[in-house]
Every structure is written in C-alpha cells, then in structure tokens.
Structure 1
Amino acid sequence: MAKSRTERASASAWSRRCLACWAAPLIFLFLVPYNMPLTGTELGMLETLGPPLMGLTATSLLGITLPLCGCASRWVVVVQVVLQMAIIGCFLAPEGHSEVRKSFETGSLERRAELKEDGVAQGSKAKAVSARFLEPRVEAKRQGTMSVVLPCLNEPYAFKTVMSFCNRTPAEVLEEIIVVDDASVPHLITKLEGVPPHCKLKVLRHNESLGLMIAKQTGGDAAAGTYIGFYDCHVAPAKNWYKETIELLAAKERRLVVPMIADLDLDSWDEKVHGALTAKCYINFNADFWWYEDQSDFIPVISGGLVATTQKWWKDSGGFDPGMRGWGGENTDQSLRAWLCGGDILRARSSHVAHMWRVDSDPRTLSHYKLKHRTDNLARVAAIWFGEFKDKFREGKLDSKIDVSVAVRKLQDLQCKPFAYFLHRFRKLYVTGGVLPEYVFRLRLKGTERCISKAGGNFRLENCATASWLHFANMAPPGFPIPSDFQQTDTDSASTSEVVCGGHTAPSCAECPRQHGEDWCHVDCKWLFGHCVPANSRPPSPYANLSRSSRKFSGIRLWNSIECFDRLDPTGPIVYFCDITGQNQNQQYLLDAKGLIRHASGRCVSVNAKPTQLAAVPCKGAREWEVIEQFVPSETERYETAVARYQLGEDLPDS
C-alpha cells in the first residue's frame, strides 16, 4: 500500500535528522585536532593513538546522540558494541602494540604514504592536517643524536665534565656519554658512581695505557649516535653547545666541526667571563701547529681534543692512523684526512666549550700521568700526508723506516688528493702569509761578517756561516708601510717648500710632530712606525726592496719554523710564535731602502758595544743591514710546479 504524502514527509524529516545526528560527532572529531595548539610531541602521540581513540569516541557519541534524535534501535546498540569491541581488540593485540611502537620510534614517512594512497590526504585542508601531524617527527629524525666521547687518564675532573655534558644536553639529543678510561689508577669508574642513569653514561677501560688517540678510537668505534663529539676530560660545554654543531654536521657527512674554545674557570666550572675564544690552527712543514684568527669559518687544522663529526665519516675515514701512540699529531692527521679526502672543517661560532689549559703555575691544572707507549706521531703525519714535500720535514730527517702502509692504503681507498691541494686551499696563509717563502736569506750587519741568529729566546750576532736562515712573512695589514716610505733623497733635503701637517705647516713631514706624535701628522704626511713621513710614497729606488720580494709582508720569520721576530727589547727582538695575520704590532718589522730594520714602536734594530748583542735604538744613527745568500727554497718551487700540474686556479677559496 502506498504511503501518504504526510508519511513520506515524516520519513524524509526523520532521515535528515538522523543523518545530521550521525555526521555531527564525526565532523566535531575531525575539527578538534586540527584547531588544537599541540606541541610536536603531542602531535606524535595523537598520530599514533588518535585513530583508535577517535573510533571509540565516535561510537560512544553516536550511542548518545542517536537516541536523543529518536534514531536509535536495538540494532544500533548492537552495532555500537560490536564496533567498540573490534576497535579495542585490534588496539590491544600484540601485533598492534608492535606496530604502534614501530610507528612511534621510526617516524611517519610510511604512514604519510599510506594516507596518500588511501586518498585521505587529499585537498589543502587534509594536507595541512597531515603535515601538522607528521613534520615534527620527521624533523626530529633528521636532526639525530650526539654521542659524547671523553678519553680520560687519571683525570680528577672526569665527574664534573660528565655532569656538564649531561646537564646541558637535552635527553632527546644525548645518545650517550662514553668515558674511555685509559688504564687510570684507581679505576675511573669509582669516581663516576654518582652519575645518575639519565646521563646515559658508559665507561670503557683499557687494561694498559695506549694514549689519547687510541682512547678516542675506542670511544668512536663504540659510539651509537648519529654524530660523535670528542672532547677532553676537563671541559665544560655552554648552554646550547650542541645546536650549531649538529646543524653544520647535518649539512655534510664528510665534515669536522670545532666549537669556539673558551677558558675554563675552575672554581665555577664554567666559561670565564670575558675570556678568550679560539678555534683555528695551521701547520708548517714540520707538522708543528699554531693558532691564528681571521674572519673565515673554515679551519685548516684542529687544535686537538675538541671536535665533532658524523658517524658515517668516522666509519668511512677509519678514524685515526692506527700506528699512533701517546698524544699529539692526531689532530693534524684527522684534519688532513678531512681536507684531502673530500671533506672540510668548520667552526661553530655559537657552540662554546670551555677548556682547562695546562698551566705550570697552577698545580690544579697539571697532568697526573706518564705515557708508557709513544710514537713519533708528527713524523707519521709527514710520512702519510706530505708526499713530495716530506723531505721538508725536520730538514730532511724523516725516518724512512716508519711503517705507515695501513694508513696509506686507507688514503688510497678514499682517493685522497696530494698535499699541494691543502697548501693551495689555504694559500692565503701559505703564500700571502709567507709560510712558503718567496726568498730565504741571512741578514748581515753592513761592513762585517756577523749575521743575526737565534739564540734561545732571543737573537744575537754570530758568524754568518752558521747564522739562522730568515725570510719575510706574515700578512701585511692595510696601511702597512713599504720600504720606500722612509726613503730620503737629496732633493727632499734641499726643498724649500713647506708641507701641511694639519692645523700647521712645517719644512718637512719629519718636523711636523713637534713632540706631539701622531696627532700632528696629517694632510701631506702620515704616521708610520713612529715617524711622520710623506703621505704620497716616493717611487722606490733600485735598492728600495733589498730582498727583491714582490709580496708585501709585515714581519721576519725563521725558516722552517713557526717563530718570528717579536717584541723589540733593549737587547734586540725576542723570539715568539708567529702571528701569521700580521695584526700583532710586536711582530711588525720592515727592512727599509737604506737597510734599517724598523720596528712598529718607532725604534730600529742595531748593535751595542758587546760584539754579539743586538740593541733597540732610535732609527737616526742605527746600524744598517743587508740581505745575503738569497735563494728560492725548494718547497716554494715545488708548490708552484704542483699548482701548474694540477691546474689549481685562483677561483678556488683561499681561506
């Protein structure tokens, strides 16, 4: 029998009302997570637990709304109960637990793909929801974790160092802290018993002391983190020390990252306020290293024990030369392995780690061990890496019996480049800074057979046949004088025209200061090395550059050394490590056109009454010097030949 119009209208209204009652809870459940201000962790939990919870909530809400709408029946209740039991059963099943854990631990890339295949992630709204649920998990996976490796031997500050890393590294970043006890007496673990479990401490022990790099190798090989940080056993990291380090490592696998190394305050066990920060070193042909500073963040050589790398590069590179024992040299080996085998080294300016330096005057800083096993690690570095330059090491005294065959095979496996590539990559140091000398010579006192030579921490005069070989070096800062700046001619002395000194005039620039120094030397004149000289340099005379050097340098360096003329004392220059950037005014010397060795202080190097002693005197009346026995050294010739052979262009970075 056909239904009446009234019955059909009533049925239609009932259908619309029931449809609305079915749809309302589902729409509500979809919109709530989309508009909730959830953190990344909460989103990750919602992604994993959300589907079963939303299913249970939906069926429960339907059990409430449908009866209120007059749409319920016993069949609806039966369906609701069956659905809820099915959802709970699936979620509590062992397989379900396994899948939930797997999803929670490994991220959601596969889940994203499944959603896309099922058509759930269609449309901009759905994609936005999916991205909001999934992106924080993917980012956390990409960042990775850090294993901190601390090689220690009879170290009294191991506990403080461990706790510093533990307290200043988030749990989600810290994979573990590995202390490698290099046969300490007593066992170092007895000093680490108070370290709490959340610090994730692991202690590995050698039965005999094998040295720093073997301890590092042990720790690095055992590390499980995405990144491995090697640090000394007497340091304190600053807050957020890990952030930039990890960012730089995440950008390139074959990379080492060095923090800014600060001074450690032993009382507060934290970075000294207004202390020095350093990170960069270079080496000479004896594999000696020294510090320097410039604007570039690339580092030629790491200083030693504070560096991080990727797990991948640690395994691929093999870590350290396995033949090294003791300590020293591993920093150079690791650095050349990076630069010549496809990697690089960067400093992380915002990552600070305070380091305790060994200071003889402070007994708290002294080491508490003696090494039993030690090899000539610098010689091993030269034998492995220097190639055609290896005969420069210690003036040709490299022991040919050193066995580096294992390390050389690793070098060949990695397809590493020759040492000349490293010199060219940092030619701003090696060429512009004068480590590769343009000429080498001796400096002789005019009219004698006596030359300047190193004697301990000073310089003195001795027979030229045995005197030190020298060369000009260190970069010339802007405005550094040239020899002809101090050149005087007969025309100058006979000139009757006056020069403008600033607010006054004078017959010559030399007469401008009137005991007021630099403040009264302007306009037509300029102040250089304690003297007022013409602002426009005269054309150099044929003897203006006594070394015939075409490069501009700011100091005088001992050949085959990292030492230079430093502060000019009353008894002459002292010896100190070179400031290759030329910024240290103590090391600024110039051999002028007349043969005077001028110092930035305004005085000149001369001699006193003693036959072997130098002196610092006013330049007027100082003794003159001359360059003798000048030659181009073999390392410079080989470098220039290698640049041509390998076609190394000037378009490559130089610092």
Structure 2
Amino acid sequence: MFLRKRCRYGSRKLQFLLLLLMLGFLLLMVTMLNPPPRDLNKEGTSQPVKFTLREGYQLDFAETQEMLETQEERQQYYPMEGLSPFISLREDELLVAIVAPTIKRNHSRTRKGYRMVKQHKDPESLPLQDGDWDDGGEQLLGLEIHGFNEALSEQISLRRELPEVRHPLCLQQEHGPNLPTASVIICFHDEAWSTLLRTVHSVKDTAPQASLKEIILVDDLSQRGHLKSALSEYISKLDGVKLIRSNKRLGVIQGRMLGAARATGDVLIFMDSHCECHKGWLEPLLARLASDRNRIISPIIDVIDWKTFQYYHSVDLRRGVFDWKLDFHWESLPEHEEKVRQSPISPIRSPVVPGGVVAMDRHYFRNIGAYDSDMTLWGAENLELSIRAWLCGGSVEILPCSRVGHVYRNHIPPAFPYEEVMMRNKIRIAETWLGSFRENFYKHNTLASLISKVEKPDCNESLQLQKRLGCRDFHWFISNVYPELHLPKDRPKFSGKLHNTGIGFCADYRSRGGVSEGPVELSPCTDATNQDFEYSSMKEIRSGSAPQLCFGIRHDKVIFQNCTEAAENSQQHWDVQESGMIIHILSGKCMEAVQSEPEANLFLRPCNKSANQLWQFECSHVLDER
C-alpha cells in the first residue's frame, strides 16, 4: 500500500528512481544466472600443442563420427593438427570428432577435428542421476545386465594380483630400457564399476611407468548413474588416466577409433573393459613391435570365470581361427606350426587375433586404414583387421609370454544388439576380402544370404584401400596362412540352436581353457554363438563356435570330442529324424536330456519318444545353394 500511495501522490522524480532501481536489480539477477562463457583458449591447460604426421600416413578417424547438432555459443573447435593437451573431462563435457567445411581461395575443403561440447544439465537428457543406480539394490546389478556375477565382483579387491603362470623361460627374458610407449584404450558402455576399475588398476599396477604413456577411457554413452560424476571424480585422482565421453552411441569399433585419435603413445593397445593383466604382460608386446612395426599382436587370453571370477590360465598353446561362417574360435597349434617355433615361448603365427586385447604400432594402424569405419557397433572387427594385415603385407601373432585374463560373459547383455549387427559386419568382410570365396560364407549362413540379397554394403572405400596398399587375394591367405580352412565338403544339412522340448534348454559349448573334451551341457537358450550347432551330411553334430569338435560318446554320456571324420562305424555318427529324435547310429540309442542339480547333461537312453528325447534345430533350415 505504501508503494502504491507514493506512486499515486509522490513526485515523478521518485517514481523514476524506483524504476531504475528495479531495472538494475533485474540486470544483476540475469548476469548472476547466466555468466559469460569461458574462453578455453586463454586457459593454460587448453593451449594447442604442435601435432605433426609422418609423410605417407593418413589420419581419418574423424570420418567415423557424425557432426552433432548443438548451439554454436557452446562450442569450441580444435583442428586435428593442433589438438589441445588432453585433460579428463567432467560428466557435463563431451568430446566428439567433426568434419568442418573451410573455404580457401576459390575452392572449398573439409577440415577434420574435434568439438568440445559443454552441456547444460538438462534433467531430461540424463536418464539416470547419481543416486538412481543404487535404487532397488540387487535388481540393477548382476547376471541379467552384465552377463557375469557382478555381486561377487563387487566383493573382490580392485587391485588383486594374478598367480604366476608364465613359462620359466619368460621370466628369464630381459627387455631393454628403450621400449616404445603404450596408450591403452578401454571403451565401455554401462560396464560394472568393479570390473571397469579393476581393469584400469590392473593395467597401472602391472605396466612399467616409463612404458605406459596413458590409459584412455572412452565412455560410449553409458546410462548408469555411477558412471557419471562418481567415475569422473575417481578417475581425476588417477595419474595418467584420461576420460572421453561421447554424447551418442558409437559402439566398440568407433569408440576405439575415437580413443586412438587422442592417443600419443607409440603403440596402441585396445582392451575390453573387463580384463585383468598378468605381471609382465606389456613388455613382450612392446619389444615385439619394436622389432617389426608391421605386426598386429595379442597376448594369451586367459579365462576369468563369469560366475566365480576365478582365474584359469590356458594350458595348451592355441591360435585364433575362424570358419566359413566367419565365427572366431580357438584351436590347438597344427603340427606344421609347432615345427617352425624355435622354443616354447616363441611367438605364435595366428590367422586372426581375438578382439579382447589387441596391440599394434600407432602409425601402422593409421597407415593400413584403422578399423573399418563402416562396420557398426561391434563384432568381427578383429577378423577384418587381421585378414587385412595378412593380405596387405603385415602379420598377426600371439605372444605366449604376455597374458591377460578376460571375463567371458555368460550371455550377451540386452544393451548390446547382436545378431543382425554382427551379420552386417561379416557381410562387409565377405564382400571386401573373400573374393570368390565369399560364396562359401553365404552357403553356411542363410541370414547373411538373405540380407545380402536385399541390400549390398558399399565397400568402395575398402576396395580402394586394397589397391592403395597392394593387397593380395584371399587364395593367398588360404595357401600361406590358414590352409586348414578347407573348402567345405560336408555342407551342413541343419544348423541352429539344438533345443530340447522336455527341459526347454539348448545344448551349449563352454570353452575349458585349452581342454577340448568335456560334457555337452544344457543351459537357457541365448543368442550366443556357443549354442550354434550343425548337423552335416557326414552325419556329425559339430559345434558352430568350435567346428573341430563333434558330439561323441563316453560311457553313454554325450561329450565333445575332436572330430575324427571317419567314413563309417564312428562313435560320432548320428541320425537326426523328422520326429525330433536323435539316434546314435552305432548303439541305436536316443540322445536324452537328463536334469540333475545343478546342471543338465546329455545321455544315451533306450528310445521311448519322451519329451526329453525330442530335439529341434531352432531357426533350422536346409541350407540350399545360393
């Protein structure tokens, strides 16, 4: 009332002063709520450093990212030739690669670089807040989300030491002081806190400080709350560990390429986010690459059990191979490879490396074209890179003196699209590198055949890369690298998941750390390749993920055995009938699923047509000629 009376009866001068006072107060409030943006170029940590490339190498990483739509006033651009010194980013800062148009004289060019995006904290743009991941307790943790026992992993120290399992000769090796430096790149999406940080600490605790240039974490748009501010704060306290966050889902392939574009070490080591390194794992890799930079190498990958997190080291030396489905699996060294090795710790020539841990010279990686940027999310990128290396003048090896444990998931988490994504990546490999042999791939893979008839991938850039590098054809690969990849004689009659009607589970192959023989287990059906089986025209039931293993018999129990390929009177011959029964030809008995806690196995029993003796190849088909 007082103000209204003064406005009505007071002097006009006083009214004017009050109006100015109110306007000044409003301007002050606006300034406080919207401070002017910082000029990052004036800060000491953001001054550009000189970055030069060797002649003959290409830097194409930015092409794998799409330009993101953001407000111009919140952008800072850093050209690829003058990147700012790297600092770990907070949860509200994102780093993305861009292709920006520039105009020079009378023609335009594209400039590749990075964009630093400072996001405003919009509640709708952050699906989870820091406290959300803990709501409901166990329902957000564990097997369903990650494919391994996260609850148990949380109880294990983040800095445990693996037992010494290396060959004694490995302990006698001495590596010089002038080893190359390494950048370890770990891409993750919604990884469990314990396995991610155990991977980071394992790398830091086992690598010589002089050789480990940096660890680069690439957050591939994680949604879980503990991977936001809590992770940023934790990583900020670790020397030599850097964090990149992407504001769009990239997948493992392009996430690794984004990390590689920021790496400064001589050697790039791509590592999954659920690994543990053995003492002395890094030095053999660096020493081997120092002697020949045109190599792609991998350590021995040991098994960390998904249920118990117990470490199992591989007893027998194995190499990475693939079949005509382009599925990766392990196999024992053939005799001709054993003969050329000079000692038990000599490098193993391998047709392909596993994808979990891969090392190569940084400039070599760029020169051969890096990962195929048109492959999506994840899957089969290790096959493509390995085949390309062999065909284009390089080599692929596994080093027995370097060992890293890897958690092999029980199943593929729902957050990772699997079958169709991987199939499209395999089609790119077939169309780019297999040449006329690609027909063998399509004959063994009906889904790939159907997809390829509808749409063909654009492989022009990869084919141009072949010409630029002077690559050989796939016939050379079969003749000189992997002669065991026989042309198929026994085309599969049926393939798919071997489903039991009575129990409702599927037959399952589990790798046992170098031991080939073992029982055929039954477990809930998943999309994993370890549940794929083939019934061939040779009357064998082969594992799709380990095609050297067939269903055999020991004391009426169905087990995996090395395939004998015997013409007749074989314990490995079966008759798959239209009724659903699978009859062991030599004994005349039927294969039956027997449930006994805590597992279910397969046995031979007299045929009685019970539900436990009825089987079906799910998604089965007779594979016709394409």
Normalised TM-score (structure 2) = 0.50
* Partner residue of 1:382 out of 401, 413, 430: 430
Name the SS of the counterpart of 1:457 in structure 2.
strand
**Aligned pairs for 1:5-154 within 5 A:** 140-141=177-178, 143-154=179-190
How many Å separate the matches in 2 of 1:215 and 1:308? Answer: 16
Q: Which residue of 2 aligns with 1:283?
A: 322
Say if 1:573 and 1:155 are closer, same or farther in 2 by CA, change over 3 A. Answer: same
Q: Distance in 1 between matches of 2:576 and 2:380?
A: 40
Q: Which amino acid aligns with 1:381?
A: I
Aligned to 1:343: 394
**CA displacement at 1:429 relative to structure 2:** 1.3
> d(CA) in 2 for partners of 1:276 and 1:267?
21
Q: 1:256 matched to which residue of 2?
A: 296
Partner residue in 2 for 1:416: 471
The residue that corresponds to 1:457 in the other structure is: 498
Could you say what secondary structure the match of 2:234 adopts? coil
Aligned partner of 2:366: which letter?
Answer: K
Q: Deviations for 1:539-558, whole angstroms, at most 9, x for unmatched residues?
A: xxxxxxxxxxxxxxx99577
Are 2:235 and 2:242, in contact at CA under 8 Å, matched by a contact in 1? no
- CA gap of 1:441–1:387, structure 2 versus 1, over 3 A, is closer
Measured at CA, do residues 164 and 192 of structure 1 come closer, stay the same or move farther in structure 2, by a change above 3 Å? farther
Please list the CA deviations of residues 410-433 of structure 1 after superposition, one character each: whole Å capped at 9, or x if unmatched: 222111111111111234412xxx
Structure 1: tracts of 5 or more residues without a match: 1-137, 361-365, 443-451, 460-553, 577-583, 620-632, 636-655
Find the counterpart in structure 2 of residue 160 from structure 1.
198
Cα distance in 2 between the residues matched to 1:586 and 1:234: 31
Q: Distance in 1 between matches of 2:183 and 2:390?
A: 23
Structure 2 match to 1:172 = 210
User: 2:376 aligns to what SS in structure 1?
Assistant: coil
- Residues in 1 aligned to 2:539 and 2:351: alpha-carbon distance in whole angstroms: 22
Q: Deviations over 1:290-337 (max 9, x none)?
A: 221214611101221211000121110121111111110211111111
Please say if 1:566 is aligned against 2:550. yes
Q: 2:330 corresponds to which letter in structure 1? A: W
Give the structure 1 partner of residue 245 of structure 2. Answer: 205
Larger Rg: 1
Give, in angstroms, the shift of residue 277 of structure 1: 7.0
Mapped to 1, the partners of 2:576 and 2:389 lie a distance apart of: 48
1:605-644 alignment, distance < 5 Å: 613-618=582-587
Relative to 1, partners in 2 of residues 1:312 and 1:381: Cα closer, same or farther, differing over 3 Å?
Answer: same
How far 1:607 sits from its partner (Å)?
9.4
Deviation at 1:573, TM superposition (A): 11
CA contact (8 A) 2:392 2:470 kept: yes
- SS of the equivalent of 2:289 reads helix
Give the TM-score taking structure 1 as reference length: 0.48
Residue in 1 aligned with 2:507?
A: none
For the residues of structure 2 that align with 1:308 and 1:245, how far apart are their CA atoms?
7
* Contact 1:152–1:233 (Cα < 8 Å) also in 2: yes
Q: Does 1:272 align with 2:327?
A: no
Q: Distance in 2 between matches of 1:236 and 1:565?
A: 29
| Cα separation, partners in 2 of 1:184 and 1:370, compared to 1, 3 Å | same
**CA pair 198-210 structure 1, distance change in 2 beyond 3 A:** closer
Equivalent in the alignment of 2:39:
none
**CA offsets 1:476-496 (integer angstroms, 9 cap, x no match):** xxxxxxxxxxxxxxxxxxxxx
In 1: Cα distance, 2:406 partner to 2:304 partner: 5
Residue type matched to 2:295 in 1?
A: R
- What SS does the aligned partner of 1:171 have? coil
Report the 3-state secondary structure (helix = DSSP H, G, I; strand = E; otherwise coil) of the residue aligned with 2:356.
Answer: coil
Question: Please, what is the CA RMSD of the aligned residues?
Answer: 4.1
Q: CA–CA distance in 2 between the matches of 1:178 and 1:273?
A: 27
Verify the 8 A CA contact 2:539 2:574 in the aligned structure 1.
no
2:377 match: secondary structure: coil
Paired with 2:545 and 2:435, the residues of 1 have a C-alpha distance of 19
Structure 1 distance, partners of 2:323, 2:576, is 31
* SS of the residue 2:329 aligns to: strand
Q: How does 1:184-583 map to 2 (within 5 A)?
A: 184-185=222-223, 186=225, 187-188=227-228, 190-195=230-235, 199-264=239-304, 272=311, 280-294=319-333, 295=338, 297-360=348-411, 367=413, 369-371=415-417, 374=421, 376-395=424-443, 397=450, 398-399=452-453, 401-430=456-485, 435-437=486-488, 439-440=489-490, 456-457=497-498, 556=540, 563=547, 566-568=550-552
CA distance in 1, matches of 2:296, 2:409: 25
Q: Which amino acid aligns with 1:401?
A: K
Superposed displacement of residue 567, structure 1: 2.5
Q: Partner residue of 2:147?
A: none
Q: Tell me the alpha carbon deviations over residues 430-468 of structure 1, each in whole angstroms, 9 at most, x when there is no partner.
A: 2xxxx324x4479xxxxxxxxx86685399xxxxxxxxx
Q: Tell me the CA shift for residue 288 of structure 1.
A: 2.1
Paired positions, count: 356
Residue identity opposite 1:284 in structure 2: D
CA shift in 2, pair 1:327/1:405, >3 Å: same
Q: Which structure: greater helix fraction?
A: 1
CA gap 1:341/1:555 in 2 versus in 1, 3 angstroms: farther
Per-residue displacement from partner, 1:346-393 (whole Å, max 9, x unpaired)?
111011111011014xxxxx6473459947111111111111222333
Distance 1:171 1:441, change over 3 A: closer
Is 1:590 aligned with 2:562?
no
Residues 569 and 586 of structure 2 are in contact (CA less than 8 Å); yes or no, is this contact kept in structure 1? no
